[in-house]
Structure 1
Amino acid sequence: MAATAGHGASGAGVFFRRLSRWQADQQRDSLADLHVAAYRASPAPPPDDSCAENRPPSPVPRFHDRNPFLARFAEDVQRPGFDLLVATTGPRLVGCVYGYLPDRQGSWWYGRHDIPAPDLGQLADSGRVFNIAELMVDPEHRRRGIARQLQERLLVRVDAELVTTVIETSNSAAKAAYESWLWSRTDRLPAANGRPELEVWTQRPPA
């Protein structure tokens, strides 16, 4: 991956920064802290700052605990096309989004083998699909449009025909947010292997 891009500031004193693979791996513990804090949050924020897989019931399911996240992240950071942005206020990490180019049978579908459709599988094989694996915002910094800015800034550099993500079926706030960002629900994945039921959402990237 290219070297880290320069800072970009929002109007609320939040700075956005793209990290290299190495930098992202060095920040894995801080990212895990953010992940646990985001998924423990209650009550849920308004849709603008909702994010995929970000509002489970209490207590936090095992899928959202620190060690499972770290295990997934260790794999994801090595995937083709991995790209990650963070949002900070001073030294504090307050948001993160990352994704990668999935393959036809990759973990983006969480083991369901009857999808994707052949044409979507061909797009994945040719590197024309980008999957947002995680989008999270610290509970104390929601309602500021940080989630929206993170996903917009990430997708600016995406060279793909389709962008995907998965959202917990019970996460109505996240679904409302993605719908407001012009994403569409395209499929549903049953609960399996310790993770909750998920919905697949897609969007055509910006021209």
Structure 2
Amino acid sequence: MSATSPARLRRLSRWQAEGMREDLADLYAESTTAGTDVDYRSREDFFRRLAEDVRQPGFGMLIAETTTLAGCAFGFPVGRGSSWWHGFDGPLPPDVEHLTASGRVFSITAIVVHPRERDRGLTERLQKRLFADHQVSLGVTLVDRADEYAVRAFAALGWRQIGELRRPTGPAVLRVLALDLGNARSAAPGQLGRHDSTQG
């Protein structure tokens, strides 16, 4: 496959995901903003997040490959009995509550795309395919309130903020972003190349 060929998307089982953890962490490190370093703590945070997520019922991961690993996205369904909404500030919007109760909500924990693929629509492809594989109606994710870049990148893909959430670990306040899968828009080139939502 040439360097200019579209990336091939492939689903991984939880066991395959755990087996690729080092390669995925390498991708994470290579996908940080140019001129910065991923320190040991950041790498360990990625490992921790992945280890927690693979244990979630319905865990899903996609990887994108060209001649090398080019991207990944992973997350899990948010069901009626899930603790995902714990700490939400105020009542859930009725439509969100209904979709959660009916098992039609999926949380994306992370989307990581190598810089060389960011202008080729790979982020949007990963997002769309992950949601389609799980046949959901609403995507949700958490972003540190201070991370304006991530908020803008998600907004370019059609996500909107529906509230805030406080968790006992991690950032004090997280923005809750949601994507109505009937209203997703195309991303601007280069947007959302790396997203690390923090879920405690």
Q: What TM-score does the superposition give when structure 2 sets the normalisation length?
A: 0.72
What residue number does 1:42 align with? 34
Q: Which amino acid aligns with 1:70?
A: F
1:17-56 equivalence runs, <5 A: 17-38=10-31, 40-42=32-34
Cα distance change, pair 42–108 in 1 and its aligned pair in 2 (3 A) = farther
Superposition pairs for residues 82-161 of structure 1, below 5 Å?
82-90=59-67, 92-103=68-79, 106=82, 108-109=84-85, 112=87, 114=89, 117=92, 119=94, 120-121=96-97, 123-161=99-137
1:68 to 45, 62, 85: 45
Which letter does structure 2 place at the counterpart of 1:112?
A: G
Number of equivalenced pairs: 181
* Distance (Å, rounded) in 2 between the aligned partners of 1:87 and 1:172: 26
In 1, the alpha carbon distance for the partners of 2:150 and 2:158 equals 13
Residue of structure 2 aligned with 1:13, choices 6, 18, 31: 6
Specify the code of the residue in structure 2 equivalent to 1:169: R
Q: Which amino acid counterpart does residue 201 of structure 1 have in structure 2?
A: L
In structure 2, C-alpha distance between the alignment counterparts of 1:173 and 1:75, rounded to whole Å: 25
Q: For 1:198 and 1:106, locate their aligned partners in 2 and report how far apart those are by CA, in whole Å.
A: 18
Distance in structure 1 (CA, Å) of the matches to 2:154 and 2:62: 18
Cα shift at 1:144: 2.1
Asked whether the equivalents of residues 189 and 197 of structure 1 are also in contact (C-alpha less than 8 Å), the reply is yes
Checking the alignment, whether the CA contact within 8 Å between 1:155 and 1:206 is kept in structure 2 is no
How high is the sequence identity, in percent, across the aligned residues?
35
| Unaligned runs of at least 5 residues, structure 1 | 1-8, 44-57
* Paired residue type of 2:128: E
Superposed CA RMSD in Å reads 3.2
SS of alignment partner, residue 66 of structure 1: helix
Cα distance change of structure 1 residues 13 and 162 upon mapping to structure 2, 3 Å threshold = closer
Cα shift at 1:180: 2.5
Determine if contact 1:105/1:113 at 8 Å carries over to the other structure. no
Q: Residues 115, 26 of structure 1: CA spacing in aligned structure 2 closer, same or farther, 3 A cutoff?
A: farther
Q: Note the alpha carbon deviations across 1:77-111, whole angstroms, 9 max, x for none.
A: 12122111111111x211101111124575645x5
* Gaps in structure 2 of 5+ consecutive residues: 184-200
Residue in structure 2 matching 1:162, options 119, 138, 141 = 138
What secondary structure does 1:81 align onto? coil
Contact 2:63 2:69 in 1 (8 A): yes
